[in-house]
Structure 1
Amino acid sequence: MTNSGDFGGSQELDRLKAMLENWRTSLVDLSGRNRLLNFRHTKSATLEISTPSAQDLVEGLARGWDFAPLPDEEPEVGEGTRPGDVLLAKKGDRGDGIVTQKATAPSLLRALNSLRAKATQIFNDYGLWTLNLGVGMLRWREDGAETGSDAPLVLMPVVIERARNGRIRLRASDDEEPRLNPALKVKLEQFHIDWTSVGEQDPSDLRAVLSAAARAVAGKAGWQISDRVVLALFASHKESMYQDLLDNEDRVLGSDLVRAMALGPNSGLASDRFDFEAIELDRIDELSPPEDSPLVLDADASQRQAVAAAVAGRSFVLDGPPGTGKSQTITNMIAGLMHAGRSVLFVSEKAAALDVVLDRLKSVGLDSYALALHSHNTSRKAVAQELGRVLAEEPRAPQLSQQTLAQARELRLALSAYAEAMNEVRVNRPGFGRDLRLWL
């Protein structure tokens, strides 16, 4: 637990708590723009599933559901035909597959292609799978408001694929797991609604979730629970970060680094807690010889500065434009810290940055020490398989012989001496300038 004795006084602790709360709330959009709290259909990239029922759909999602065949053009209401008859013709028999609000095959195909393309793009950029079924819906409204909003209760990750029979199929994602809508829990805290009983339910048990949700909101006039099912893109990673910061508030408040970032010069920390002098470039070979450093990839003097600081346990910001070797430097940092017996958590907003570093670790034989925990690697099955693989392996890092190290030291000294000689300032001798002008 964090107490005021760890700080200069309760005022500093209150300021730190307020800053942490600002960071936390900035992660979650509780306004009507958040689709997790205010779901609305778009023209091309959301689908309302009317058939099969929510329970049947969930139970058969593992094997997959085909979309019901539709005509190329919307049927016309002819003489003697009622609009309701056309609607029944669209829905067809339950065995035909999934039925949505789309009336023609082209319109359904456009919506499915749009959903799949956008989900794939987000996955490639950020490593997040956002294509979900929103199963079960809470109709809620602000106190005093006349109109309500719809929020899905359960998010079930799915994929869209073409089946062998040529029809489009929707099935559960093998790499992701169902989860409760995390934004809904945060929002309902504002209404002082205890959502604990819902959070304790298995997200795949739809009946239990709906029943617990109905009990939780029973006292709110105009609030309703339904078994609606929609297909759309739902991103919930920021809400998960919010909950993590909330559950671990004491640990976060106890971090000197968080304290320094939040309070700055008023943090009350010792002046040398994070301040340090990096090794000077002209002394890097003397204080951190490359042949004695745990480098796995090529590195220049400035990159070796950063690696030496990281291995020494320093906290710092490494800044540089694209193409200057930041990923390579990070790889060397990770290898150096592993060599020192440390554990490393490497995070990035873009999945591509994680993949680049992981590929470079693999290229030097260190992939058995790396556990990828992003995108499709986050499922329990994938983590268990990866742990099983590395436990069964006995990776051995290649060692350089003492003769090779001695030769590398000699070559470095020779090159350094040449560079020093080339940059040495010499006194101009009589006639030297005249001879130089003749040569030019």
Structure 2
Amino acid sequence: MACGLAIFGQRQGVSLAGSSIRDRLLADRRALLDLGTRNRLVHIPLRTKNIRAIEIVEERSTNVFALLGAGKRLSFLHSESASADGASEDGSSGQGTAVAPDDDESGSHKKHTDTKLQTKLSAEGLQKRLLDIWYDARTIEEEQGVNILYLAFGLLKWFEDDKSEVERLAPLVLLPVRLERSSAADRFHLVSRAEPPSTNLSLQAKMDGEFGIKIEDFGDEDEVDVAAYLAGVGATVSGKGRWEVKPNAMVLGFFSFSKFLMYRDLDPENWPADAGLDEHPCIKGLLNDGFEAPDPIVPDDGKIDSVIQPIAMHHVIDADSSQTIAIEEVARGRHLVIKGPPGTGKSQTITNIIAAAAAQGRTVLTAASMPECDREAFREPIWDRADDVVEIVERGERFAKLRTAFDAAFVEAAWNASLDQCRTTLAEKGDSWFRLFSGRYRAQIGLLASYLKVPLPKTLAQRLLLVDGLIGAQAARRAFEELQTAGKAAFGSAWRGERSDWARLGSLSSWWSAFSERDLPAGARERLSRIRVSDEDRQSFDSFDASFRSARSTLDGLV
């Protein structure tokens, strides 16, 4: 029998003397950790010349955090004292003296509240570094589906022991960001991805495990006080000689959490007491007990056609004998793992498995296709009413578009103004030859003009259209504000009110609404909220998605 892939689904009982399931789980879990100093979450080598990172200097971290949180686009300033290759005049890589801050108090305040970020790099070095980071960030997100570009706020200076002279620097608060530019000739801007900041989970684990120092998470994840958090960490490490927190140190660079998130999810203490992870049948089978070996549906020397009738196959892509058996195994309800090197047909087999399930009238839920979200919020009861969640997003998206459109024409005060009387007066007297003699008409026109950023329209029709539009936008805002509590419950830390990322929230609500009307098993949402998909898994599913789309296109052409 030709074997295009290996199938592992029947594991005989394995004896692991002296090792409990919990011990095995904890040992495998520890293997996920990378707490060495090569991990940039543990140490950022700022003095390395070719590092893909940019140090921000002469700025206040709280001001920068607030500007990004307000949706501001920040640009970068080069150092006048850096050499052409990007290094500073003292010869170190990016460690030179930046442009000196303004001496007077007003100048210093202006410097720290503008939208320009000072760096230590030369003009040429800064642009090259920004281009490299932008290209790498875009490539990683396109190929792996994840963002690992963060702006780090605050650095912990620490040493591996009391005798060490090697200074280590670890980030404390990490905010997801992205670099943007409108054209190749335009400068780069830094913007927030409207996602919540994170504490440094890897650093917390290292400090706790090796030094007995517990660095806490944020007290309130909805309203993060960066200054207070950094001060708290400083107090926590104050007992260690030479250790200190640099609250205004900031670094733009790449930081990956994926393995640590899996490490935390596999902690038995994070699971309910009555549903322990180490008591789950699949975990017990994988780590200790093994699985009962059922009889193969086709013996090694057997003929497939007598067992799997060709007319009963629902393949939409060609499959060899081993793939056909794997597809039939799944169709009969068996659990198995399919493993093989690239090019052996794993994605095509998954495509055929889904086609077979669809032919049986079954629903297939692909966990890797689940959009990124606040997993805790996804467990909230409001998700039982998918239509309500969709309505939240639709109202929010509609108001956001109206807000953008009318902010270009009206000042902020207009949003809270009552324009009913203005509208009535315009409709009654706007066409009259004697309107200019009416004090009421002149007062309402003056009021309307005071709310405008643009010139007052000439014609009555244009004026009415403008007023009616704002009245409609005000109504949309009131309707949206009624859903603030529900929106926060549904989306958790991803909820930013009218500044929410509506494309992101919409992708989650649309994805779930496609399944909520189906007969999903009890607790499906709870289980989905606990699933973490690795970068490698996403790559595999992207490959599958391409195969599936190709097969569907071919099938559509035949129908």
TM over 0.5: yes
Aligned position for 2:32: 27
Aligned position for 2:67: 60
Q: How does 1:69-148 map to 2 (within 5 A)?
A: 74=83, 87=100, 93-94=111-112, 95=114, 97-102=116-121, 104-147=122-165, 148=167
1:273 aligns with 2:306: no
SS of residue paired to 2:335: coil
Letter in 2 for 1:40: P
Aligned position for 1:188: 207
SS of residue paired to 1:135: strand
Aligned position for 1:323: 343
SS of residue paired to 1:287: coil
SS of residue paired to 1:318: strand
Q: Is the 8 A contact 1:198 1:213 kept in 2?
A: no
Q: Is the 8 A contact 1:49 1:101 kept in 2?
A: yes
Aligned position for 1:40: 45
**C-alpha separation in 2, matches of 1:73 and 1:181:** 31
**C-alpha separation in 2, matches of 1:84 and 1:394:** 57
Match 1:261 to one of 286, 295, 298:
286
- More off after superposition, 16-25 vs 336-345: 336-345
**Alpha-carbon deviations, 1:52-81, whole Å to 9, x = none?**
31111111122210112666985999xxxx
Q: Flag structure 1 segments of 5+ consecutive residues without an equivalent.
A: 1-7, 78-82, 349-377, 397-440
How many residues end up aligned between the 2 structures? 345
**Alpha-carbon deviations, 1:118-172, whole Å to 9, x = none?**
2233333432312111111222333434444221111112111225893221111
Alpha-carbon RMSD:
4.0
Q: 1:384 to 1:221 in 2, by over 3 A?
A: same
- Post-superposition shift, 1:306? 0.7
- Post-superposition shift, 1:21? 1.9
- Post-superposition shift, 1:300? 4.2
**C-alpha separation in 1, matches of 2:237 and 2:134:** 34
Q: Is the 8 A contact 1:51 1:99 kept in 2?
A: yes
Q: Is the 8 A contact 1:198 1:212 kept in 2?
A: no
Letter in 1 for 2:153: V
Q: Is the 8 A contact 2:78 2:120 kept in 1?
A: no
SS of residue paired to 2:118: coil
**Alpha-carbon deviations, 1:31-57, whole Å to 9, x = none?**
211111112213232211014311111
SS of residue paired to 2:117: coil
Aligned position for 1:389: 510
SS of residue paired to 2:125: helix
Q: 1:394 to 1:152 in 2, by over 3 A?
A: closer
**C-alpha separation in 1, matches of 2:98 and 2:161:** 41
Aligned position for 1:243: 264
Q: 1:304 to 1:85 in 2, by over 3 A?
A: closer
Letter in 2 for 1:385: G
Q: Is the 8 A contact 2:154 2:250 kept in 1?
A: yes
- Post-superposition shift, 1:204? 4.4
Letter in 2 for 1:63: K
**C-alpha separation in 1, matches of 2:171 and 2:223:** 12
SS of residue paired to 1:136: strand
**C-alpha separation in 1, matches of 2:221 and 2:504:** 23
Aligned position for 1:18: 23
- Post-superposition shift, 1:26? 1.4
- Post-superposition shift, 1:114? 1.6
**C-alpha separation in 2, matches of 1:88 and 1:390:** 50
Q: Flag structure 2 segments of 5+ consecutive residues without an equivalent.
A: 1-12, 90-95, 103-107, 370-492, 496-500, 518-559
- Post-superposition shift, 1:243? 0.7
Q: 1:73 to 1:230 in 2, by over 3 A?
A: closer
Percent identity, aligned pairs only, is 28
Q: Is the 8 A contact 1:46 1:231 kept in 2?
A: yes
Aligned position for 2:227: 207
Q: 1:85 to 1:216 in 2, by over 3 A?
A: closer
Letter in 1 for 2:263: Y
**Alpha-carbon deviations, 1:92-133, whole Å to 9, x = none?**
94547111111x210101111121222233333432312111
- More off after superposition, 318-327 vs 186-195: 318-327
- More off after superposition, 144-153 vs 284-293: 284-293
Aligned position for 2:177: 158
- More off after superposition, 216-225 vs 338-347: 338-347
**C-alpha separation in 2, matches of 1:262 and 1:193:** 32
**C-alpha separation in 1, matches of 2:308 and 2:516:** 27
**C-alpha separation in 1, matches of 2:30 and 2:303:** 46
